[in-house]
Amino acid sequence: MSLDTATIEALAAHLEDCEQQAHDTLKITLDHPDMDWADAYAVQEGIRRRKMARGARIVGLKAGLTSFAKMRQMGIETPIFGFLADSFAVPDAGQCRHAELIHPKAEPEIVFVTKAPLAGPGCTISEVLAATDFVLPGIEIIDSRYRDFKFDLKSVVADNCSSSRFVVGGIPRDPRALDLRTTGVVMEKNGQVVALGAGAAVLGHPANAVAMLANHLGLRGETIPAGTLILSGGLTEAVSVQAGDHVMLHMQGMGCTSLAFV
């Protein structure tokens, strides 16, 4: 760690205020160039603590920058991990207020829900599949608090990996009855196809993202508890959305989920 506790708390407060007030900011590494990974995750942890102190419930976890498309879009090479609070959840086919967000983008994701704990290091894809209750389609709405989505890895980790909203729906399926590598996804905006791909876009197999999350937490002495909802990462580039847009995700064998921006 290179930052002191007061600085970490101040950065967490600043980034969470930006989220709550839909204000953008410059990436925090400009003022804190020596920030390390532990600092970045400590700021994210500070945001989580602030939300929990106000009564928020943590309803899930996410992996980000897990696809080659997203790594290319953001110009980076390592996955990152964040948390999902109850206030991020949008009901299936529900509405999301665009004015509450800065510059939201939608991305299609395969969502895992666990039925047994997962622990790393050494967690594998087959352990993830055995510990998964079901998979289902999800749309994540990312909304970086950084101006024009311009950040580096440590800044975005501190900003809870741009987490903002998510919707899940469709038909929950046992992942062992599917080949998640060849599971096709088609995302439409206002009836037009804007993104398409297959499960293998995420690290060769989306369960790999969950294994990497377990391994990341394992290094910190934490596990993924049973009953955790996990967004395994955008399968395609993220698509900008405006008020009035309707986004629909079709996932092969799992039906669809959607939301509208108002």
Q: Which residues bind Mg ion (CB under 5 A)?
A: 64, 140, 234
**Per rule CB under 6 A, is residue 180 in the interface with ligand OOG?**
no
**Total site size for ligand OOG, rule CB under 6 A:** 15
Binding mask 182-221 for ligand OOG (x = CB under 6 A): ----------------------------------------
**Per rule CB under 6 A, is residue 108 in the interface with ligand OOG?**
no
> What distance in Å separates the CA atoms of residue 195 and residue 100, rounded to the nearest whole number?
24
Choose from ligand OOG, Mg ion, none: what does 161 bind? Cβ within 5-8 Å by kind: ligand OOG
**Per rule CB under 6 A, is residue 60 in the interface with ligand OOG?**
no
**Per rule CB under 6 A, is residue 162 in the interface with ligand OOG?**
yes
Choose from ligand OOG, Mg ion, none: what does 15 bind? Cβ within 5-8 Å by kind: none
Output 32 or 70, the one with its CB closest to Mg ion. 70
**Per rule CB under 6 A, is residue 84 in the interface with ligand OOG?**
no
Output 76 or 93, the one with its CB closest to ligand OOG. 76
Shortest distance in whole angstroms from residue 209 CB to ligand OOG: 9
* DSSP output for 217-232: HHHTT--B-TT-EEE-
Shortest distance in whole angstroms from residue 105 CB to ligand OOG: 8
CB 64 within 8 A of CB 82: yes
Residue carrying the six token digits 């942890």? 45
DSSP assignment letter at 173: B
- Return the half-sphere exposure (C-beta side, CA atoms, 13 A cut-off) of residue 147: 5
Contacts of 183 (CB under 8 A, 6+ apart): 110, 198, 199, 251, 252, 253, 254
> What distance in Å separates the CA atoms of residue 93 and residue 245, rounded to the nearest whole number?
12
> What distance in Å separates the CA atoms of residue 11 and residue 236, rounded to the nearest whole number?
30
Q: Which span sits near ligand OOG by CB under 6 A: 38-46, 83-91, 139-147, 189-197?
A: 139-147
> What distance in Å separates the CA atoms of residue 233 and residue 113, rounded to the nearest whole number?
14
For residue 165, give the nearest of 137, 143, 187 by alpha carbon. 143
**Per rule CB under 6 A, is residue 156 in the interface with ligand OOG?**
yes
Handedness of CA 213, 35, 43, 236 (dihedral sign): negative
Beta bridge partners of 167: 139
Shortest distance in whole angstroms from residue 221 CB to Mg ion: 25
Out of 15, 61, 161, 256, the only residue in the binding site for ligand OOG (CB under 6 A) is 161
Footprint on this chain of ligand OOG (rule: CB under 6 A): 64-66, 70, 74, 107, 140, 142, 144, 149, 156, 161-162, 233-234
